[in-house]
Amino acid sequence: MPNAWGACMDVGGKFAGTLSGSMNMMGNFAGLDGKTAHGLVRFCEAFEIRAIIDSQSAGIDAGLLLDGISNGIPIVADLPQALALPGSRASTFIYGMAPADGLYGKDDRRVLMLAMAAGLNLVSGMREFLNDDPEFALAAARHDVSIRDVRRPPALKDLRLFNGSIAKARCIRIAVLGTDGAIGKRTTATLLVQALNASGIHAVLVSTGQTGLIQGGRYGIPLDAIPSQFCSGEVEAAVVEAYCTEQPAVIVIEGQGALSHPAYLSSSFILRGSQPQAVVLQHAPARRQLSDFPFMPMPTPASEIRLIESFAPTRVIGLTLNHEGMNDAEVSAAIALYAAELAIPVTDAVSRPASALVAMVLRAFPELCVSTDGQL
């Protein structure tokens, strides 16, 4: 497994970062735009994350800052500090930011150039493709490093329209959707798959965003980079590939944005393409406005559930909470409140036992009997 670093910039242009495969900039690791770095710190099969770069949080353990649990991944102030860390040298620099516009600033470009000059391969999920930039292409050739633009879509001739092949996926399909973007859908989907597999139920994750693919997701596409006409078909094809390859009992599909969101509408394609029998909804009780649209109030779980169940022939089987801005007592109170209001199971996938996620699925699908090979 290669090890790596990553990097991002704040609006002030000061440097910060993520080592061991990903990097973040000035204070952004603790913010919503650092969600790619968050995902890599929590789970990563493709890289061994060596460090995070964030000048405001240097000296703190990344896991401690993110989830309150140390994980041994240090936060350093800049790229030179990352390069000076003891142990094996990282081979890759991962750009760990996910700003709404998907574009690099001048300081971002400078740091990426420095990383290549240090012999590091680049991995990025931004909308701006470094391989198409003559300056970066020349620098990559000069320093004998590679650039991976994760969000680059397949060639037009290779894109797939919806064709009904989803009927081949004869398993339970669960989409993890949300009430906003950057709310924890990927994390909850990953934890759900891990919990099901740990309980003996063969489950597979289909990623629909750049972070899941950087983490090492075996199935999926960067959905918001796909022309809209092909989005449902590409989701369908990814789900069918996962089923035909592994024959799982459950496929979990990572959601994007929110069905009610004015800008991030990819959940509509996920519902149409994967045709899930069930949805788990992710919500942040303490978030009052949409993350990139502070003039717009958050939807309620109840309103989002009504919208989902009217838009697609599916049912919301549970609510999972993002505990940002909440203490443990507030999380417990919110779990009880929403469970009473919505009459569905409610949990926090990060702070509460994984068994609650499994129980949520088994309550909805009591026919999910586990055999020796984890099949239905």
Residue 44: closest CA among 74, 83, 5: 5
Residue 262: exposure state from Cβ atoms within 10 A (0-12, 13-18, ≥19): exposed
Question: Where residue 27 falls among pLDDT bands split at 50, 70, 90?
Answer: low
Domain segments of the chain as ranges = 3-149, 158-364
* pLDDT confidence bin for 32, thresholds 50/70/90: confident
Q: What is the mean pLDDT of residues 231-247?
A: 99
Contact 66, 37 (CB under 8 A): no
Instruction: Look at residue 30 and tell me whether its pLDDT is greater than 90.
Output: no
* Residue in this structure with the two tokens 């991962």, named with its chain if needed: 94
Residue 133 to residues 66, 67, 69, 147, 149, Cα–Cα distance (Å)? 34, 37, 40, 11, 11
191 vs 174: CA distance, rounded Å: 13
Dist CA 19 CA 102 (whole Å): 21
* Mean pLDDT calculated for residue range 240-264: 98
Q: For residue 16, is pLDDT > 90?
A: no
Query: In angstroms, rounded to a whole number, what is the distance separating the alpha carbons of residues 352 and 359?
Result: 13
Pairing of strands 92-94, 121-124: parallel
Superfamily of domain 158-364: P-loop containing nucleotide triphosphate hydrolases (3.40.50.300)
Q: How high is the pLDDT of residue 101?
A: 86
State whether residue 113 is helix, strand or coil.
helix
Q: If pLDDT is split at 50, 70 and 90, which confidence band does 168 have?
A: very high
CA distance 73 to 19: 8
Q: 281 and 178 in contact (C-beta within 8 Å)?
A: yes
Q: Are 41 and 52 in contact (CB under 8 A)?
A: yes
pLDDT average, residue stretch 322-342: 98
Q: Tens of pLDDT along 69-102?
A: 999 999 999 999 999 999 888 999 999 998 888 8
Do 3-149 and 158-364 fold alike per CATH?
yes
Q: How confident is the model at residue 267 (pLDDT cuts 50, 70, 90)?
A: very high
What pTM was estimated for this model as a whole? 0.92
- On the question of pLDDT at 24 being above 50, the answer is no
Q: What is the CATH number of domain 3-149?
A: 3.40.50.720
Give residue-wise pLDDT tens across range 104-157: 999 899 999 999 999 999 999 999 999 999 999 999 999 999 999 999 999 999
The full length of the chain comes to 376
Query: Is 139:146 a contact under the CB 8 Å cutoff?
Result: no
